[in-house]
Amino acid sequence: MRYLIPTPIIHIVLVEPSHPGNIGAVARAMKTMGLHRLVLVRPRYFPHPLATAQATHAADILEQATIAPSFQEAISGMQRIYATTARTRSLAWPSMTPATMSRDIAALPPATQVAIVFGRERTGLTNTELDCCHVTCTIPTAVAAASLNLAQAVQIIAYEWLIHAAPPPHPPRHQTPLPTQHDLEQLCEHTARIMLATGFFDPAKPRRLMRRLRRLMAKAQPDLNEVNILRGLLRAVEDHLDLPHPEAQRHPAEVAPALPGQPPDPQPHNNHEG
Ligand code: SAH
């Protein structure tokens, strides 16, 4: 899914990649995260069937990739250049994480030409190449100075950019209205009544049952339809057992004041966390 919001124009620059499969995997990683511009500096093998095979549905990115004869030529038109590196260098470059780099990119003026540069599989980037970059970016790893596979590094950086730059790609989680706190409290009260009436809940041994039930509701975050389904089920149980519907005769105002912060446990219970 693509977004028509003005953002900087990001180029993924691979310097002298030696494995064609990695180039294809990079294209795939880019495509899944909405990046399209791939620049290859003196790739050892390209085009190559292995690259195409690894790219799967991202063959278009390979077809449109720019081949640059030198690193200098690849970056000459770029306005902001980030170098990714697994190593912390002796001379300290300004260094960012993928998240801070993404925020940095997002703050650039729209249509800024941005390069995110990735080094050779075996040796990374040279210090001379780093000299031409404005900032370095290192993906944190559990082991000091651990290097990732080239395409995996691109995947993480591209993912981080996606979540910083774009609104969430999914439709809103709730299509139907959410219940009010009052609706939820009524559901809890209703459940408590049924639990009591059926003997499931023994007031002599409350064991924080209602608190657990509330937590379950909080975790599930049901929408209003789902709450109504549960209420309907509870009502059917009441009918089946020939139980009264006390709430039906009560005005909502009678129910509401008893609700927030006052759990409907039939048994007094303590306020300790459980
Ligand atoms: N042995 C090389 C690592 C090469 S991995 C070295 O020591 O530099 C190939 C490329 O993937 C790196 O040049 C860098 O662009 C990227 N990469 C791998 N691991 C990374 C990490 N932890 N953080 C940022 N980039 C990384």
Question: Tell me, what's the pLDDT at 61?
Answer: 98
Segments of the chain with pLDDT less than 70 = 1-6, 88-93, 145, 166-175, 247-274
Tell me how far the alpha carbon of residue 169 lies from the centroid of ligand 1, in angstroms. Answer: 29
DSSP bridge pairs for 95: 136
Does 212 lie in the same domain as 100?
no
Tell me how far the alpha carbon of residue 207 lies from the centroid of ligand 1, in angstroms. Answer: 54
Is residue 3 assigned to a domain? no
Does 203 lie in the same domain as 136?
no
Tell me how far the alpha carbon of residue 148 lies from the centroid of ligand 1, in angstroms. Answer: 6
Does 208 lie in the same domain as 114?
no
Question: Tell me, what's the pLDDT at 210?
Answer: 81
Q: How far is CA 116 from the centre of its chain?
A: 21
Is residue 270 assigned to a domain? no
Is residue 173 assigned to a domain? no
Does 64 lie in the same domain as 156?
yes
d(CA 153, CA 34) in angstroms, rounded, equals 16
Question: Tell me, what's the pLDDT at 111?
Answer: 86
Handedness of CA 45, 46, 51, 53 (dihedral sign): negative
Tell me how far the alpha carbon of residue 17 lies from the centroid of ligand 1, in angstroms. Answer: 12
- Measured in degrees and rounded to the nearest 5, phi and psi for residue 135 equal -145, 150
Residues comprising the chain, all counted: 274
d(CA 121, CA 19) in angstroms, rounded, equals 8
Tell me how far the alpha carbon of residue 154 lies from the centroid of ligand 1, in angstroms. Answer: 10
Tell me how far the alpha carbon of residue 133 lies from the centroid of ligand 1, in angstroms. Answer: 15
Is residue 145 assigned to a domain? yes
| Listed residues 131, 165, 199: the one ending a domain | 165
Q: Which residue has the tokens 């774009």?
A: 166
Does 199 lie in the same domain as 149?
no
Domain span at residue 206 reads 181-258
User: Contact at 8 Å (CB) between 61 and 30?
Assistant: yes
Does 114 lie in the same domain as 15?
yes
Is residue 115 assigned to a domain? yes
Does 205 lie in the same domain as 158?
no
Protein residues whose CB sits closer than 6 Å to any atom of ligand 1: 84-87, 118-119, 121-125, 138-139, 141, 147-148, 150, 153
Ligand 1 atom closest to residue 118's alpha carbon, by position in its atom list:
15
Is residue 265 assigned to a domain? no
CATH number at residue 144: 3.40.1280.10
CB atoms within 10 A of CB 239: 10
Pick from 247, 140, 227: which is nearest to 183 by CA?
A: 227
Nearest CA to ligand 1 atom 11: 150
Pick from 227, 238, 219, 212: which is nearest to 182 by CA?
A: 227
Question: Tell me, what's the pLDDT at 90?
Answer: 58
Does 77 lie in the same domain as 32?
yes
Q: What is the pLDDT of residues 108-152, one digit of tens each?
A: 888 889 999 999 999 999 988 998 888 999 999 998 868 999 999
Question: Tell me, what's the pLDDT at 6?
Answer: 60
Query: Could you give the C-alpha distances from 249 to 83, 134, 199, 244, 265, in angstroms and in order?
Result: 70, 71, 24, 10, 20
Domain count, the chain: 2
Does 120 lie in the same domain as 23?
yes
Is residue 51 assigned to a domain? yes
d(CA 51, CA 53) in angstroms, rounded, equals 5
Query: Could you give the C-alpha distances from 65 to 21, 70, 253, in angstroms and in order?
Result: 15, 15, 67
DSSP assignment string, 56-121: GGGHHHHHTPEEESSHHHHHTT-SEEEEE-SSPPSS---EE-HHHHHHHHHTSPTT-EEEEEE-BT
Tell me how far the alpha carbon of residue 142 lies from the centroid of ligand 1, in angstroms. Answer: 14
d(CA 87, CA 176) in angstroms, rounded, equals 49
Pocket probe mutation, ligand 1, options 147, 149, 156, 157, max atoms within 8 Å of Cβ = 147
| Listed residues 119, 136, 165: the one ending a domain | 165
Pocket probe mutation, ligand 1, options 84, 90, 159, max atoms within 8 Å of Cβ = 84
Does 152 lie in the same domain as 47?
yes
Question: Tell me, what's the pLDDT at 247?
Answer: 63
DSSP bridge pairs for 39: 13, 66
Nearest CA to ligand 1 atom 5: 121
Does 147 lie in the same domain as 53?
yes
Question: Tell me, what's the pLDDT at 185?
Answer: 82
CATH number at residue 192: 1.10.8.590
